[in-house]
Amino acid sequence: MSDVFDNVMDLAKRRGFVWPTTECYGSVAGFIDYGPLGTLVKRRIEDLWRQFYVISEGYYEIECPTIGQEAMYIASGHVKGFSDKMCQCPACNEYLRADHVAEAHNIPNAATLSCEALAEKICTLPCPACNEVLGTVEVFTFNLMFQTTIGPGSQRKGYLRPETAQGIFVDFGRLLRFYRDKLPFGTVQIGRSYRNEISPRQGMIRLREFTQAEAEIFVHPDMKDHPNFSRYADYAFPLLSSEQQLRGLEAKTYTMKEAVAAGVIANEYVAYYLALTHELLVTIGVMPSRLRFRQHLPDERAHYAEDCWDAEIFSERFGWVETVGIADRTDYDLKAHAEQSGDSFTAYIQFDEPRREKRRVINANMGVLGPKYRGKAKAISDALQEVTPGPDGATVIVDGEEIFVPADLYEVKEEEVDVRGVDVRPHVIEPSYGIDRMIYAVLEHSYFEEEVEGEIRKVMRFPSRIAPVQVAIFPLMARDGLDIMAKEIARTLQLQGILAEYDDSGAIGRRYRRQDEIGTPFAVTVDYDSLEDQTVTLRDRDSMKQVRIPKDQLADLIPALIRGKSSFSSLI
RNA sequence: GCAUCGAUGGUCUAGAGGUAUGACUUUGGCCUUCCAAGCCAAUAGCUCGGGUUCGAAUCCCGAUCGGUGCACCA
């Protein structure tokens, strides 16, 4: 049975969009090559993404290493949480999630048990695949991160990053200073991430090496109103909220303003990026009718996330595919890195007006305290600041030891101070895009077959900003100077940064069809009239209509058409 | 990973033990004044590794990749 997926992937391979990697040695599941045209499409989509996030939003892009040291991924939770406890059934060789087996038989918190403890618990249970009692099995952890070593001698563990986000989080301090100590600010990264999927399938939908475009937007935890919310306040599209899902209902269309007011979306920031994502996906060629935003159900959401939505794109083959995740991750990540690293990961936010606050200060009498407690004196003095002293003295805990400090060894003062600001740990709003999935969706949604005079015409209806080849230049015949004029036109456009492809091989109709199949939006043909009156025909891919225009207008017209500043229909 | 089905030029395909058929595409030539026209020629293939056999695309075993179901999918 051949469906759109087969047709699209066949075209993708033949025409150089995407193909399996290292075919001569046998491909490896989960890895793909982008061919010449696919690489162009990918770059164009990434650049459009930058247009939205870097240029429009002002969230500058950074690049971090794809290999990260262990500490970073201990903090992020990937070393622990990104691994599954697995075992292999001795009877049928099936790999099983050991914690799932246990939980299915009402053993609580199975995921938190050690491997040995878990092995003990499940030895009496039946294998869910073959029903044989598992008996003595070894439970092992399978971590989805690719592991490597840094430097010779294997001293330091390194991991290939499973997401680009952590690189941004750990740079928080420097980024904050770059943005001159003000919230909110955002930083983005586009790059490869790696996950050693147990069984990747579905073509380019689940890859072991894939490209993510992530934005991390650091906002004040109490100020989740987006400064430019009005831009999308009236932007409307269907939302499949968790409540609708739980009640078994369909998606409902809201404006962003309504959705925030009704509490469907947690805050303006999340709503703003849902809308921006909708606009971006439609701009790159995703059909609005096959795009929906689904809210994570309470049990599906990461425990720290305040709200989380997926942009899902409908594929004829795969159904609804999660392509973009938009989450309010709260301060989870920054807090985790603060605890692991000892750095503060906070921003000092000044108040508009200094606030006069009463503060109690405890001044230790170091002249007495020092000789009495010796090495511990400094720690005791610090600890005193944190406790409420009793009438006779204060009890502090230093290195686990309880020490009673008599009241005559310190002086308690109430003083009024100007408090000019406060350290806050920002919350993170994270839109995270799977670029490869977006590209697949665009390929599938752009693919059309139509009958033209008894022949099937295959055409990729890419938006012109995404199309790999932007214009094709043909001489009607490759002689009589037509070819020379066509090459000159191609050259002129190329010097403007337009990818113009010259082609003089075969009948003109065949050349049009070739360009249709790779989605080239426009074709310019030089004919015998061109030599007389310096006009050429401009042909539109989608309507196949032609219009005659002066050759000298091409240099302005073609870029305008490709950037959507002008439309072909306005020329007719 | 388990089960199952499949894999022949770039694409589709014939081929059931004797060195691979045809079409499309591509390239070159002829022809051709706007949507895959025609003619001539050329390029190009049995997924990989073992085994059986004088001889394997074909039979057997294994691997790889792909489809489907299950499992997995922070």
User: How many CB atoms lie under 10 A from the CB of residue A326?
Assistant: 26
**Nucleotides of chain B touched by protein CB (<7 A):** 1-2, 10-12, 25-28, 32-37, 47-48, 64-68, 70-74
Instruction: For residues A41 and A462, give the distance between their C-alpha atoms in angstroms, rounded to a whole number.
Output: 9
* Protein-to-nucleotide distance from the CA of A200 to the C1' of B21, whole angstroms: 37
Instruction: For residues A208 and A144, give the distance between their C-alpha atoms in angstroms, rounded to a whole number.
Output: 10
* Protein-to-nucleotide distance from the CA of A289 to the C1' of B50, whole angstroms: 53
Measured CA distances, A216 to A16, A168, A177, A450 (Å): 33, 7, 16, 43
* Protein-to-nucleotide distance from the CA of A332 to the C1' of B61, whole angstroms: 54
Q: pTM of this prediction?
A: 0.86
Closest residue by Cα to residue A175 from A186, A163, A161: A186
Q: What is the pLDDT of residue A282?
A: 96
Q: What is the mean pLDDT of residues A214-218?
A: 96
Q: Is residue A299 scored above 80 in pLDDT? A: no
SS (H, E, C) A401-413: EEEEEEHHHEEEE
* Protein-to-nucleotide distance from the CA of A504 to the C1' of B43, whole angstroms: 20
* Residue range A480-526, pLDDT digits in tens: 999 999 999 999 999 999 999 999 998 999 999 999 999 999 999 99
CA of A86: nucleotide with nearest C1' = B72
Q: What is the pLDDT of residue A464?
A: 96
Closest residue by Cα to residue A235 from A290, A274, A204, A207: A274
* Protein-to-nucleotide distance from the CA of A298 to the C1' of B73, whole angstroms: 18
Grouping H, G, I as helix, E, B as strand and the rest as coil, residue A69 is strand
| Run of H or E including A119 | helix A115-122
**In whole angstroms, how large is the CA radius of gyration of chain A?**
31
Q: What is the mean pLDDT of residues A168-197?
A: 91
Q: What is the side-by-side strand order in the sheet with A83-88?
A: A95-97, A83-88, A140-143
Q: What is the pLDDT of residue A154?
A: 62
The per-residue pLDDT of chain A, averaged, comes to 87
Confirm if A134 and A126 have CB atoms less than 8 A apart: yes
CA of A322: nucleotide with nearest C1' = B73
Name the least confident of A11-25, A88-102, A400-414, A455-469.
A88-102
Q: Which residue is nearest to nucleotide B48 (CA to C1')?
A: A26
Among all chains, which residue has been given the structure tokens 């609708």? A244
Q: How confident is the model at residue A55 (pLDDT cuts 50, 70, 90)?
A: very high
Q: Which residue is nearest to nucleotide B10 (CA to C1')?
A: A14
As for the ipTM of the complex, it is 0.86
Q: Is residue A472 scored above 90 in pLDDT? A: yes
Question: What are residue A255's DSSP bridge partners?
Answer: A236
* Protein-to-nucleotide distance from the CA of A302 to the C1' of B30, whole angstroms: 69
CA of A93: nucleotide with nearest C1' = B2
Q: Which residue is nearest to nucleotide B71 (CA to C1')?
A: A96
Q: How confident is the model at residue A86 (pLDDT cuts 50, 70, 90)?
A: confident
User: How many CB atoms lie under 10 A from the CB of residue A41?
Assistant: 27
* Protein-to-nucleotide distance from the CA of A192 to the C1' of B50, whole angstroms: 38
Q: Is residue A177 scored above 80 in pLDDT? A: yes
Q: What is the pLDDT of residue A111?
A: 62
CA of A477: nucleotide with nearest C1' = B33
Q: Which residue is nearest to nucleotide B70 (CA to C1')?
A: A129
CA of A513: nucleotide with nearest C1' = B36
Q: How confident is the model at residue A291 (pLDDT cuts 50, 70, 90)?
A: very high
Q: How confident is the model at residue A318 (pLDDT cuts 50, 70, 90)?
A: confident
Q: What is the pLDDT of residue A540?
A: 97
Q: What is the mean pLDDT of residues A39-46?
A: 96
Name the least confident of A313-327, A386-400, A532-546.
A386-400
- Residue A550 neighbours by CB under 8 Å, 6+ apart: A534, A535
Confirm if A117 and A87 have CB atoms less than 8 A apart: no
Q: What is the pLDDT of residue A426?
A: 93
* Protein-to-nucleotide distance from the CA of A132 to the C1' of B2, whole angstroms: 14
Q: What is the pLDDT of residue A129?
A: 65
Q: How confident is the model at residue A185 (pLDDT cuts 50, 70, 90)?
A: very high
Letter for the amino acid at A169? F
Name the least confident of A257-271, A397-411, A450-464.
A397-411
CA of A455: nucleotide with nearest C1' = B36
* Protein-to-nucleotide distance from the CA of A99 to the C1' of B12, whole angstroms: 48
Q: What is the mean pLDDT of residues A316-328?
A: 90
Q: Is residue A2 scored above 60 in pLDDT? A: no
* Protein-to-nucleotide distance from the CA of A128 to the C1' of B71, whole angstroms: 10
Q: Which residue is nearest to nucleotide B28 (CA to C1')?
A: A505
- Residue A258 neighbours by CB under 8 Å, 6+ apart: none
Q: What is the mean pLDDT of residues A532-561?
A: 96
Q: Burial of A266 by CB count in 10 Å (0-12 exposed, 13-18 middle, 19+ buried)?
A: buried
CA of A432: nucleotide with nearest C1' = B74
* Protein-to-nucleotide distance from the CA of A27 to the C1' of B57, whole angstroms: 21
- Residue A549 neighbours by CB under 8 Å, 6+ apart: A535, A536, A537, A538, A557, A571
CA of A2: nucleotide with nearest C1' = B67
CA of A516: nucleotide with nearest C1' = B35
Q: What is the mean pLDDT of residues A157-176?
A: 90
Q: What is the side-by-side strand order in the sheet with A67-69?
A: A67-69, A156-160, A147-150
* Protein-to-nucleotide distance from the CA of A292 to the C1' of B10, whole angstroms: 37
Closest residue by Cα to residue A300 from A386, A240, A218, A212: A240
Grouping H, G, I as helix, E, B as strand and the rest as coil, residue A330 is coil
Q: Is residue A56 scored above 50 in pLDDT? A: yes
Closest residue by Cα to residue A443 from A334, A287, A240, A268: A287
Q: Evaluate the omega torsion of the peptide bond into residue A184 and state whether it is cis, within 30 degrees of 0.
A: yes
Q: What is the pLDDT of residue A1?
A: 39
Angle between helices A435-446 and A4-15 (to 10 degrees): 110
Q: Is residue A130 scored above 80 in pLDDT? A: no
Among all chains, which residue has been given the structure tokens 């055409």? A459
